[in-house]
Structure 1
């Protein structure tokens, strides 16, 4: 007959660590641990509800990863449970190992099953009770303990699932922030790269101008040096000639030599005007751009008949076609477009456009002499440098072919920057202070005008420059 200690060990092996009862239809996972089928499936179901789509779980005992496909019926464990149950049913036949008597008594002091001979010997004076009387009271206490521990186990599992969800949420938040940081630095790098090209181009032009002046002065000195050499040769020839040759027109020769002058060449100061504060560019893109900000208003004589301009000429809205408008050869007739009043013929300029949450618009600059009827083609080769908001918040640059613009966030205010001499037109998201797009370098020779096209359910507003 098995000893009480061995029976206790066997019972512990056959007990489910989730419900603390003998296993019912035991299921094993890859790590070797077994649980009641209903218990392990219930845990998997709860975890899937807490974290939608979760298909890989951790063993409640050793955290080994498994899926429900890895669950297998443990027939051996089922047989062990059946044996324990049969032994429980014949528990009344258990005999004292020392005396061979039936264990009809329970010692409250030692917490052991004893026979009548044990009670008179080793347990004399101890509080004892019949097994039947002690059984019900302790069973109720154990069931109460199981209930309490089960509640704690469920609470623990809920906490664990909450923490698992927290980890997932943290990773999602970190990834979003990581992508935002990468995007911000990429935009800044693009802006600085464009600024670097502009400054280097201006420095190159300044070098060309200064070299032209210095070389012109050098050429003048070369010419003067040749003239002086000729005079010297002429005088040396007279000195080496005969008396008659030396004295012939000697006064005219001397007078001519005395009139020769050497002008001091222009002192061209090597002062470079093209300077760049890189740290200022790095720390405040908006501030740098707004140094070149100009006030832009709309030109009513260019506005399509379906556009309404505010009285201050800083806002344009689409509407019904207006009649009896003043005739103008500048007016757009096929598309809802309007131009700015003043153009750019040199220098660097910047203006902002409040696009709000409109659903469709084009903006940028164009040449003054672009086509304004049905033959208008909005491409750089036809004098347009513009970007567009299409349906479903899709942004494109109107290059040939179109260039898709993948923006991390919707711009509410768009900045347009023109460097006339460098041939650059750039766009910026002023809400985020980041670069959107720069057109390939062009060669400007005509007047450039701010260009706007407004579609249905949209309007554009031109804010006053910051003072």
Structure 2
């Protein structure tokens, strides 16, 4: 056990008497003692601060005087300290500086002979390292074998996962090409249909123009004939009585025989009509495939809003009293949410805005601010459009976009594709697109959102059967 003494003595010699740790950048002074370089420098600065500038200082151990100019790096001691640090810490007990010859089975620790006698390990099962080494080595090898087997299985599963990834990529690529091919076919079909209808329209135009122009030419000839008779009569009327009466009856008979035939009637209604949405893109029918029933949530309604009994209509009026002012309720702006929450798929609902002069509607996340800090923009969880008297129709994007609608919408459709991150609005009065927000990435529950203005109630019609 005495073999640990040299290591203990080595540690004592390598320990700085100032900081009591292994020396860092050991530095010797004129008396031969060594300290950490920074410890000597700090000592020098502290003494100068407390006692003023000095030329001589005293060794902390032997009190021999020295000057700062006598400091020399002790490279040999530094190398010994580095070698001491590289010694395996498991070989020497950190507490007793004795070699770790024993293994405590209860705690699974290497200990020295002195550790065995302290309360921490008293009564524990201990054994010499040499006696338990082989047994634990075999256990480690067994564990290593098991882990290798698990790793082999893991690699097999990884290869299977890679095959699934490749298969999935292959399937999606096939589907991608099919979609592209189908749409190319559709584009080609629509292009051919467009040419066909334009050709029919052009042919109808030419045929009707030919008939109309023929009728115009006949009328021009008839007009020339009539002008000729008029000129003859004018000349006869200006002549002498003899000339006027000469063959007057024949002249009158010829003039009386002139008739203006009723021109052929040509219909000005086009026969070539192509209602593209009706023929190919019935937007209303397509949207209503995804229509859901939306009702209003009274627990979120601002105190100035009144909901109908069936919770499908909301109007704004005087503040209501005795309402539960929970954090779910909008406290500043006259807003209300729909009861339904959307977390997946495609959803569509309609809002009857009538001829109201102001409204906000769309979708928002469940977690939006509902107090004075509410900001109605996508970054804050809102995807909405607005009608106001001053600015008209606006998409509340970032930045806001003014919307120029050809026809006032009496019913607005709101379409959500959650996975695709799309929120779109439609004018269902003339079945036209209003606005689509830039693609987003949804992770929170989305709910229908409505802000209600004075004299502009909103109504949520139930889905059509």
Q: Which category describes the TM-score, using the shorter chain as reference length?
A: 0.3 to 0.5
Using structure 1 for the length normalisation, give the TM-score: 0.42
Which is higher, the Rg of structure 1 or of structure 2?
Answer: 2
Using structure 2 for the length normalisation, give the TM-score: 0.42
